Structures are given as C-alpha cells and as structure tokens.
Structure 1
Amino acid sequence: MDIAGLVPSDRHVDGVVEMLLDATQHYQQPLAADRLFGWHSALFPSSRRGMRKADPMQVVSGAMGKEKIHFEAPDTDRLEEEMRQFISWFNEDTYMDPIIKAAIAHLRFVTVHPFDYGNGRIARAIADMQLARADESAQRFYSMSAQIRKERKEYYEILESTQKGSMNITNWLDWFLQCLDRALEASSETLASVLKKASFWEKHATTSLNQRQRLMLNKLLDGFEGKLNTSKWAKITKTSSDTALRDIQGLVAKGILEKEVGGRRSTSYCLME
C-alpha cells in the first residue's frame, strides 16, 4: 500500500497499534498483570503504573445536579483479587467455546475496570487476542476492535443494560456475535476492494499514465463519492478544465474510463467494467 505523503500517526494511535499487535501477534503468550500494565503504558506513556486508587469509579453523564450514573466499578479493595481471578480464568479455562470466551472476557474486564481510563480499548484488545486464539492464527483479516468502534453507540447501550441487569448475559453474547459477523462481512468487502485494485494495477502496469490520472484512478477504485466530471477532476488535481478534459479523454481512449449513461447537466465518467 502506498503511504507516501500521508500524515504521520500521533503517539495515541501508535500506542493502540502497539497494543493490538502484541495481543494478536503473540496470542499464545499468557495474559499477565505486567502485560496489561505494558499495554496501558503504550496507550498513556505519562500515566502512573498501576491500577486505579480512587473510589467510587463511575461513568456519569448529564448536567450538574441531574447526573445519570451509567456504571459504577467494583471498589478498589476488590481489584487485585478480581484481576487475579480474571487472569487465571483467561489463561486456564480451555473448555469454553473460544468465541464465547472472547465475548465474556471483554465484558468481564471492562466491568472490573481496573484502570482509571483506557479500559474499553484494553478490553477490545483482549477480545481480539482471544479471537486470534480461536482462529489459531496471528494473521488478522478482520478486527473486532474496529467494528465495536464503528458501533460504539449500540455497544455502550448493550454494555450498560448488561452491567445494570441480572447475571444473565445472553443479550450481550447475542450482540457480540452479531457484531463479529458484521466485522467479518466488513473485512470481506475490504479484501474484495483491495484485490480489485491490485488486479486493476496489474493489468495496467505498463499503461502510460500521468500522476493526475493515477491519483484519480485510485480515488475511483477506493470508491469515489458522487459523479466524476471535468470540474471535479480539475478541482481535485488543481489543474485547468482543459487539462482535466484531456486527462479524461486520454483514459477513455485507452478503454479505462467510459461516459456514464443518463447524464443531463454535465457529462460524467466511470471505470470500464
């Protein structure tokens, strides 16, 4: 993938990537307190090492005097034992269905809430780690973390209703499994797009194209929004309308672009099938 010219990622993004890579590339290694502290340090390099110290730890919304408590974590005097039990269960329970275990591990960790912040991101990494164990592969073609982030509104709703309810977590498991299914579907769509793009450039490896044409063809392959016409081409490539028209006509002559049928106000173009 061509990354030239992209804006460098910030330290926060690097920390998330570092954590997820360790969780999924080294999925066979046991979970441990030091490993969790390392992940937390990757996310928040300047934070102090260790679990939260203050009580109560609450997730609250609303104006002052009208606050709504969405969640209250276990008291700090229970944290060490809760985390000891969690880590032991995660590493030693080999009888549970591994995908169900990923759902429960995420819920259990985020409910214990051992850190002042970053618990959700670490819980997602734990789920992806367990899914890598389920797949028995460090090669990740889908991301549960990314899908949960896309659906964070629904995620917080099901999480709150589960944490406030009884010990029955059926609805949480149902949502998690459906979210996983959507993550797999999204991955399939992404892979199909990548393969289509690779095939296109393999086919046109020797085709003579200028930089503007390459830029716009990549935009079309990535999913161009709206109709492509000479004015949009000129604006994006920062050139004149005459030059844009020559670029487009050149691609039409090479059998790469074609005029779209049904255009009224202005002629629009699309990739040849």
Structure 2
Amino acid sequence: MYIHQKKEWPYFTWDAAIITPLLGKVRHQQGIILGVIQGLSFRFQEETVLQTLTLDVIKSSEIEGEQLNHDQVRSSIAKRLGIESAEAVPADRNVDGVVEMLLDATQRYEELLGEERLFGWHAALFPTGRSVMYKIKTADWRDGSMQVTSGEMGREIVHFEAPVADKVPYQMNLFLNWFNSDQSLDPVLKAAFAHLWFVTIHPFDDGNGRITRAITDMQLARADQSKKRFYSMSAQIQIERKTYYSILEKTQKGDLDITDWLQWFLDCLLRSMKQTDQTIAMTLKRVQFWETNHAIDFNHRQQKVTQLLLDTFFGKLTVSKYAKITNVSTDTALRDLQDLISKGILLQQGVGRSTSYTLIHIA
C-alpha cells in the first residue's frame, strides 16, 4: 500500500526529538542569511535575488530533464522584476512560463493558493497544450492514472502510483484547505509537508515536480516573510537527485511516520542555505566588476562572454570558444577579444595554439 491508501492519510506523524534540533539549525542559518543580506546595498540584494531565481528555474527544470537557456531565464526574470539587465535577450514561451509560475509563487506568497491559481501555473508551463510530442490535459486535474516509472519501455519499474483520477479533486481540496489555513506547524516544516503531500497526489498530467517545487518555494518565502530569495532548494535537490527520489519512494511506500523524509528535507535545505555564501561571493564579483567598468562600451557579444567568465564559464577562453559561444567567425571573435584587451578587461596568456584569455581582475 502507498501512504495515500492508508486510512490515516493525510495525518502524518514524526519524531520531534529528531526533527526539532535540526529545525533549529535551519532556522538559525536562515536568520544568518537574512541578517547578512539586509546589511548589503539594494543593488547587491537585487543582483543576488536575480542570481538565485535564475538558478532555481534552471535547476527545477533540469530535474525533469529539460535544459533551459541561462540568458533567457535571467532576462525573463529581470524583465518581470523590473531589474535593469545588460544582457537582456528575448525568451522562449516555455522559459517565460516557468518564470511566471515561480515569480507568482514567491512574489505573491502571502496570497491564497487555490485551484484556479494552480491551473494558471499549469497552463503557463504548457502553453501549447503539449508535453514534448504528446497532447496533455492542461489547466485541469488529470483524468487518467498516474505512475512514476523508470526503465525501458515494456520493462518499466513502477516506483509509485498516485491516487486514482476521480479522487484527485477531493484530495486537492483537502490539501489546499490545509495549505491556506493550518498555522499549527512551523512554516519551514510546513514546506516539507506540502512538498510530500502535493507530489504524492500528482494531480496533473505533467509538470507535477516543477509545481511541487514552486509550492515549496512559496511556503519557504512565507517562512522567510520575504519576496526575496537568497537560497535555492531546487538547485540542491538537483545535486542530490538520486537520494531525493530514493527517500521519496521509501516514504510513499511506508507508513504515515515521515521522520526520515523530514530529516532529509531539512538537511537538504540546510545545505542549500550554506551554498548562499558562494552565491553572495559570485554576485559581489559581478556587481563590483560592472560598477568598476560602467563607462566601458561592450557590444552584446562581449557582454555575454564576460558574464560567462564572471559566472559559469569553465576552462580556458580561446578564440574558437568565443566564436562558438557568440556564433561569429574566428576573425570577429579575435577582434572582439583584442578590443577587450585594449580596454583593460582581458589579459592574454600564452601564444599560438596555447593562447587563452582571462579577466584581469581575477587573473
């Protein structure tokens, strides 16, 4: 039996002796993050939020096997938050849809979560009414069975089977009434409960994982009492994806004692919060760089590559890599790079085939 088939569902139990000290650590780390951030300038806070939300959108989609364009995601978020972004680029509709859902969840976290709001999120995720090649039912509860499987077609392993379709409206009504009204749980613990509860119902044809993580972010924003996001639970889940699916399956096949699930969730959340130090360091580097070089004229190609060097670029930057990243000829790439050298942005290292380029301030 799955947990949703037990007569006690959805009345969870847990071992407070194990969970309470861990919750205290999470709350302590949460206070440290919010304290540090509040002492920083508005511009710095703004850039950190942009970094975190971009990471959240990209990693939440990666968990489902979908790769989104970093520049499109960042640009879409910046546009909707009214943040000036040097690398503004048009975004695909599917990118805008994921961004719209996450921002609605986190920027309007105080508002009630209802059926129509969830349907709006689902419609935003699937603007064409299709999931890859397959037509799906959008902006409504599923009307078919739902299994979570892995393995080759014909040899699938069933990891979990969600409630039958005709029980979904009732199950979701229970969930939404609890989510909007129950104030007895600590808000961080409630995020863990909500995550498990919603993903167990699996109410949609597709997109359940991404919507689950949006609900989790919404509840964590309530816990923070802030629209500004400075840590990404989705990014940490992506790192621990194998363990995540394992503990989820174990819990959904277990009893209503969810101590192990809560312990994993809080540990994962704590690790995601501790990654904030790296996010802050990266953001500081970015902000300081552009403030220092605000008077220098960069073309759009140079902006893009410079951002990569500041953020996510690994390995050595060469003429051929620059040409591939910006989709230009090697002659144009070389001119751009020489121009950045003349402006004091890049430093050339090596000669001939071993020539590479690095930002002067991190050389």
TM-score (norm 2): 0.62
Verify: 1:203 aligned to 2:292, yes or no.
yes
- When residues 272 and 159 of structure 1 are mapped into structure 2, their CA distance, relative to the original with a 3 A threshold, is same
1:234 and 1:77 map into 2 onto residues whose CA distance is 55
Q: CA deviation at 1:74?
A: 1.4
1:142 to 221, 231, 238: 231
- Correspondence for 2:141: 51
Please state whether the residue corresponding to 1:137 is helix, strand or coil.
coil
Equivalent position amino acid for 2:143 in 1: K
2:174 to 73, 82, 85: 85
Equivalent position amino acid for 2:86 in 1: D
> Residues 19-49 of structure 1, C-alpha deviation per residue, up to 9 Å, x if partnerless?
1111111111112122222222222243344
> Residues 62-97 of structure 1, C-alpha deviation per residue, up to 9 Å, x if partnerless?
345533111011123332222221111111111211
- Correspondence for 2:112: 30
Q: CA deviation at 1:102?
A: 0.2
2:181 and 2:156 map into 1 onto residues whose CA distance is 40
2:153 and 2:265 map into 1 onto residues whose CA distance is 33
Please state whether the residue corresponding to 1:59 is helix, strand or coil.
strand
Unaligned residue ranges in structure 1 (runs of 5+): none
2:300 and 2:140 map into 1 onto residues whose CA distance is 52
Q: CA deviation at 1:223?
A: 4.8
Moved more, 58-67 or 173-182: 58-67
Moved more, 13-22 or 200-209: 200-209
Contact preservation (8 Å) 2:109, 2:227: yes
1:213 and 1:20 map into 2 onto residues whose CA distance is 30
Verify: 1:2 aligned to 2:94, yes or no.
no
> Residues 95-129 of structure 1, C-alpha deviation per residue, up to 9 Å, x if partnerless?
21111110110100110112222211111111111
- When residues 217 and 82 of structure 1 are mapped into structure 2, their CA distance, relative to the original with a 3 A threshold, is closer
Question: What are the within-5 Å matches in structure 2 for residues 5-24 of structure 1?
Answer: 6=89, 8-24=90-106
1:40 and 1:211 map into 2 onto residues whose CA distance is 34
- When residues 159 and 272 of structure 1 are mapped into structure 2, their CA distance, relative to the original with a 3 A threshold, is same
Q: CA deviation at 1:11?
A: 2.2
2:247 to 132, 152, 158: 158
Identity in percent: 54
Please state whether the residue corresponding to 1:71 is helix, strand or coil.
strand
- When residues 243 and 171 of structure 1 are mapped into structure 2, their CA distance, relative to the original with a 3 A threshold, is same
- When residues 31 and 131 of structure 1 are mapped into structure 2, their CA distance, relative to the original with a 3 A threshold, is same
Verify: 1:239 aligned to 2:326, yes or no.
no
- Correspondence for 2:163: 74
2:278 and 2:355 map into 1 onto residues whose CA distance is 29
Verify: 1:177 aligned to 2:240, yes or no.
no
2:121 and 2:154 map into 1 onto residues whose CA distance is 36
- When residues 259 and 37 of structure 1 are mapped into structure 2, their CA distance, relative to the original with a 3 A threshold, is closer
Contact preservation (8 Å) 1:230, 1:244: no
Structure showing greater radius of gyration is 1
2:337 and 2:180 map into 1 onto residues whose CA distance is 62
2:283 to 194, 199, 204: 194
Contact preservation (8 Å) 1:233, 1:244: no
Unaligned residue ranges in structure 2 (runs of 5+): 1-84, 130-136
- When residues 229 and 90 of structure 1 are mapped into structure 2, their CA distance, relative to the original with a 3 A threshold, is closer
Structure number with greater CO (CA < 8 Å, separation at least 6) is 2
- Correspondence for 2:197: 108
Contact preservation (8 Å) 2:147, 2:160: yes
RMSD (CA atoms): 3.3
Contact preservation (8 Å) 1:162, 1:172: yes
Contact preservation (8 Å) 1:60, 1:69: yes
